[in-house]
Structure 1
Amino acid sequence: MARLEVPRPATFVTLTGFMGVGKSRIGRELARALMLHFIDLDRYIERRTGISIPDIFRHLGEEAFRRMEKEAVRELVGKDYLVLSLGGGTFMDPESQKALLGRGPVVALWASPETILERAMRKPGERPLLQVENPLERIRTLLEARAPVYRKAHIHVSTDGRRVEEVVEEIVEKLWRHAEARGA
């Protein structure tokens, strides 16, 4: 049976950015807007392992989790018709970064450290990297370290003080511009 081809700016889109910038919520809506499947990498890993991300960190450690991320990216980068929402640290891995940048547009979502903290504190037990005395300082430190890597993304969008629909609309517009610039 032939697949119905729908005009869309990309058939594989990656969302990256720090925790709490809205990758999962925005990714779901972006996938809907582009008529693509959606995978949240953290949920994907949880389903594959049967272990929650906080428990993976707690019992197996961050290094084991990063290996799982890398393996999952290797597996998913071969898929089509997908919006892939990464964990905040996934894009730091050079191999994953290269594979994703070569696969399709990578969109970096941004928010201020204060916004990130406010969003992250809605689910405090789910953010293992923020289980510290001063989470805002931890966010600033990690964000500063990761920002140069996030800047390698093809497209950049701020989520501060914006509705999901607004952000998705901006991403779609930028994806079309990106596709046109690449001659797609």
Structure 2
Amino acid sequence: MVLVGLPGAGKSTLGRQVAKRLGRPFLDFDQEIERRTGLSVSRIFAERGEAAFRALEVELTRELAGAPPMVLAPGGGWVTNEGVMALLRPPGRIIHLKVSPTEALRRISRSRTVRPLMQHADPAVTMQALWEVRAALYSRADAELDVEVISSQQLTDSIVALAHEGTPEIG
């Protein structure tokens, strides 16, 4: 399973819960990239730029293409990397955790995590712009779950059910 969506959609939180229920490993792309580089995502963006970070996401995705079944939580902009979805499917399934830009901003404002793309004068405008660029890409997911109308437990149950449909998967 690959969980995609705007920052604040709950990819990492739900991913950990789903992985536990499925008995699979969980991998948060941002944490893995930080572990590998020794730099925070914010620092990578500041020192190397967004393109360098996106290249690291693509490299990690290529490595995971042949990995055993796991639950993946790439960053919200992962979908903007040309061809990454195709690298993981089939057998992987991509689930869009849909959240409105307004709710996403509300959620991340409560988080201690620094979001590099939100370090602008008007984060609401930035979040809306991210949504406008990424919405069509998110719509390519195999399934969409609205995180604003479904409880966390129902979301976990739904994702686990989707994991059990069809053939075994890598992500």
Taking structure 1 as the reference length, the TM-score comes to 0.85
Equivalent position of 2:105 in the other structure: 117
* Whole-angstrom distance in 2 between the partners of 1:56 and 1:91: 19
> Given the alignment of the two structures, is residue 39 of structure 1 paired with residue 30 of structure 2, yes or no?
no
* Whole-angstrom distance in 2 between the partners of 1:113 and 1:179: 32
Of 60, 71, 90, the match for 1:102: 90
Aligned length: 167
Following superposition, the deviation at residue 102 of structure 1 comes to 2.8
* Whole-angstrom distance in 1 between the partners of 2:162 and 2:72: 17
Equivalent position of 1:133 in the other structure: 121
Equivalent position of 2:143 in the other structure: 155
| One-letter identity of the residue aligned with 2:64 | L
Which protein shows a greater Rg?
Answer: 1
* Whole-angstrom distance in 1 between the partners of 2:21 and 2:143: 17
* Whole-angstrom distance in 1 between the partners of 2:124 and 2:108: 10
Structure 2 residues without counterparts, runs of 5 or longer: none
Following superposition, the deviation at residue 103 of structure 1 comes to 3.6
* Residues 37 and 124 of structure 1, relative CA distance in 2, 3 Å threshold: closer
Structure 1 residues without counterparts, runs of 5 or longer: 1-12
* Whole-angstrom distance in 2 between the partners of 1:101 and 1:93: 15
Dislocated runs of 4+, deviation >6 Å: none
| One-letter identity of the residue aligned with 1:37 | P
3-state SS of 1:126 partner: coil
> Given the alignment of the two structures, is residue 50 of structure 1 paired with residue 42 of structure 2, yes or no?
no
What does the per-residue CA deviation read over 1:21-74, in whole Å, with 9 as the maximum and x for residues that have no partner? 000000000101111100001101000111010011111111110111110111
* Whole-angstrom distance in 1 between the partners of 2:144 and 2:7: 15
* Whole-angstrom distance in 1 between the partners of 2:112 and 2:35: 21
Taking structure 2 as the reference length, the TM-score comes to 0.91
With a CA cutoff of 8 Å and minimum separation of 6, indicate the structure with the bigger relative contact order. Answer: 2
Equivalent position of 1:15 in the other structure: 3
| One-letter identity of the residue aligned with 1:106 | I
C-alpha RMSD of the superposition: 1.6
Equivalent position of 2:166 in the other structure: 179
Equivalent position of 2:52 in the other structure: 64
> Given the alignment of the two structures, is residue 27 of structure 1 paired with residue 12 of structure 2, yes or no?
no
* Whole-angstrom distance in 2 between the partners of 1:24 and 1:151: 20
8 Å contact kept, 1:101–1:153: no
What does the per-residue CA deviation read over 1:63-114, in whole Å, with 9 as the maximum and x for residues that have no partner? 1101111101111121112101111111221221211233411111111111
**Does 157-166 or 58-67 show the bigger shift?**
157-166
